[in-house]
Amino acid sequence: MGPMDPVEPDQDLVAIGLLREPVRRALYGYVASRDGEVGRNEAAEAVGVQRGLAAFHLDKLVDAGLLDASFRRLGERRGPGAGRPAKLYRRAAREVAASLPPRAYQTAAHLLAEAVEQAGAEPALYDSARRGGEAAARQAAGAGPPAVERLLAARGYEPYPDGQALRLRNCPFATVAHEFPVVACGMNLAFVEGLLAGLGADGVSASMDPAPGRCCVAIHGLAEASKNNND
């Protein structure tokens, strides 16, 4: 299914509904929070349930399309007697979304992105994004450098430290960014710059620093600025 295809509401609604169950939700949350694959035992221990129960829930999440599963030999041995390959889980690559009443914001985003590109209106979009980031930051709790990571996490960016930088694991605009990277990533950078300005996070800056499998923006100066804030 592509982003312009009509939404299948029932399938995704059912999948999201499965997360009602607290243990299942905790297991999903744990696997989703890890960067990479997770085995049943690790997930069971992290959540505090028996392995069998964890496997039951994890497999239900795979069936619903919320997790992807793969098999990998964890040890060195091969051939007969080497033991079964381990089943590993990761957050599903496919986006699962449901809106009631039905909404098609992805379709709108694609059409708008194409129009911006055709019209060469990126500067206007980036200005709008910067103002939008400032507005979003002003509505958020907290201010200054200490509030940066919390606000980015609240907005779904999944920040993580990488040396002196703060990087973002999740791209909130993923499908649009895949089709219109310059429009979407430029918009994203401007939006994050706006967030930082709106928080009054002096000494903290954002730059474009993409790599496969992560958001294009990196945050710099956070450690230093937080230290200065505390002095």
Partner 1 sequence: MPERTAHHLAQVNIALPRAPVDSTELADFMALLDPINLLADHSPGFVWRLQTESGNATEIRPFDDDRLMVNLSVWASLEALRNFVYSTRHLDVMRRRREWFHRLAEAYLTLWWLPAGTLPTIDEAKDRLAHLQRHGPGPDAFTFRDPFPPPGASRRAGAARPLLAG
Q: What residues line the site for partner 1 (CB under 8 A)? A: 69-72, 85, 120, 122-123, 179, 181-182, 185-186, 189, 207-212, 216
Give whichever of 15 and 177 is closer to partner 1, judged by the CB atom. Answer: 177
The answer to whether 92 touches 68, Cβ cutoff 8 Å, is yes
Give whichever of 204 and 217 is closer to partner 1, judged by the CB atom. Answer: 217
Give whichever of 32 and 69 is closer to partner 1, judged by the CB atom. Answer: 69
Question: Smallest distance, Å, CB 189 to partner 1?
Answer: 7
Give whichever of 186 and 221 is closer to partner 1, judged by the CB atom. Answer: 186
Amino acid at 16: I
Distance, CA of 102 to CA of 27 (rounded, Å): 28
Distance, CA of 197 to CA of 224 (rounded, Å): 17
Question: Smallest distance, Å, CB 78 to partner 1?
Answer: 12
Question: Smallest distance, Å, CB 102 to partner 1?
Answer: 26
Question: Smallest distance, Å, CB 142 to partner 1?
Answer: 29
Alpha helices in the chain (DSSP H): 9-17, 22-33, 40-47, 51-63, 105-119, 122-139, 148-154, 174-179, 181-199, 222-230
The answer to whether 61 touches 24, Cβ cutoff 8 Å, is yes
